[in-house]
């Protein structure tokens, strides 16, 4: 895995790209490469992270404009090839807007921008994104979002539940998300979107290491 490289996508307005890169390189010794949103050549990366931030100013809706970037257009083949894609916060919003994951993310129920640590239940470890060992069914990760309320219709929710696509649920739902959903995967399991920030929980000096497993799992096949 020496040459394994994670592409970290940079949109105009991304602001967690360097955090993700720092966590992968500094804490896990995994090589990263920044991918400008206008690039559509994904041939030299083995996994991709869509980081948090405010891509294209979040104009119209969060993630709505990013969906039309050359990089997102190229993502379809990348996902179909089975390689792993992790969308964090704004990255999750982009994945739902572009149809890689079902549902939508909209304004928090209480209208506040919430910046806090939250406790999360690992519901499914489909795709191996979370350590679902007996001793660690609950993790603590930071959230920082104004539009993180997951919404989907009842048929979609049933499909998510039946197919074990819900990865994470909030213990104390902070934003009004349907079914307390904080993170979901696609059916194959190689695409994960979540509102919490694993890259901000990779070192004890900044409050915890519960995010390490998810970032490390980018190198799983």
In the annotation, is 197 catalytic? yes
Q: Is 126 helix (H, G, I), strand (E, B) or coil?
A: helix
Could you give the CA distance from residue 103 to residue 81 in angstroms, rounded to a whole number?
23
In the bound complex, what is the minimum distance in angstroms from residue 126's beta carbon to other proteins?
Answer: 22
Catalytic residue among 16, 97, 197, 202: 197
Could you give the CA distance from residue 193 to residue 63 in angstroms, rounded to a whole number?
13
When asked if residue 27 is in the footprint of other proteins (CB under 8 A), the reply is no
Could you give the CA distance from residue 20 to residue 66 in angstroms, rounded to a whole number?
19
Could you give the CA distance from residue 52 to residue 87 in angstroms, rounded to a whole number?
8
* Of residues 60 and 206, the one with the C-beta less far from other proteins: 60
* Of residues 15 and 156, the one with the C-beta less far from other proteins: 156
Q: Which residue has the tokens 């050549």?
A: 41
**Residue-wise over 87-107: b if at least 16 C-beta within 10 A, else e?**
bbbbbbbbbbbbebbbbbbbe
Site map (CB under 8 A) of other proteins, residues 112-151, x = contact: -------------------------------------x-x
* Of residues 98 and 185, the one with the C-beta less far from other proteins: 98
| 91: its two tokens | 């990255």
| CA quadruple 44, 50, 55, 58: dihedral sign | positive
In the annotation, is 151 catalytic? no
Q: Is 205 helix (H, G, I), strand (E, B) or coil?
A: helix
In the bound complex, what is the minimum distance in angstroms from residue 192's beta carbon to other proteins?
Answer: 19
Positions 46 through 105 that interact with other proteins (CB under 8 A) = 60-61, 64, 68, 96-97, 102-104
Catalytic residue among 16, 37, 62, 89: 89
* Of residues 9 and 152, the one with the C-beta less far from other proteins: 152
Positions 149 through 188 that interact with other proteins (CB under 8 A) = 149, 151-153, 176
In the annotation, is 145 catalytic? no
| 21: its two tokens | 């890169």
Catalytic machinery residues: 89, 197, 199
The residues that touch other proteins, with contacts defined as CB under 8 A, are 60-61, 64, 68, 96-97, 102-104, 106-111, 149, 151-153, 176
């Amino acid at each position: 895995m020496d040459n394994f490289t994670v592409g970290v996508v940079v949109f105009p307005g991304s602001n967690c790209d360097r955090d993700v890169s720092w966590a992968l390189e500094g804490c896990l010794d995994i090589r990263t490469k920044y991918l400008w949103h206008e690039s559509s050549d994904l041939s030299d990366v083995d996994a991709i992270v869509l980081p948090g931030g405010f891509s294209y100013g979040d104009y119209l809706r969060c993630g709505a404009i990013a969906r039309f970037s050359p990089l997102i257009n190229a993502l379809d083949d990348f996902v179909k090839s089975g390689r792993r894609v992790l969308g964090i916060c704004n990255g999750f919003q982009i994945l739902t807007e572009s149809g890689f994951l079902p549902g939508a993310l909209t304004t928090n129920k209480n209208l506040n921008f919430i910046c806090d640590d939250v406790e999360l239940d690992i519901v499914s470890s489909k795709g191996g994104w979370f350590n679902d060992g007996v001793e660690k069914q609950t993790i603590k990760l930071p959230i920082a979002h104004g539009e993180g309320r997951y919404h989907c219709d009842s048929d979609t929710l049933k499909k998510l539940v039946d197919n074990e696509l819900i990865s994470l649920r909030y213990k104390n739902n902070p934003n009004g998300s349907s079914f307390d959903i904080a993170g979901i995967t696609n059916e194959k399991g190689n695409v994960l979107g979540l509102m919490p920030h694993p890259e901000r929980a990779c070192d004890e000096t900044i409050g915890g290491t519960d995010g390490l497993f998810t970032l490390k799992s980018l190198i799983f096949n």
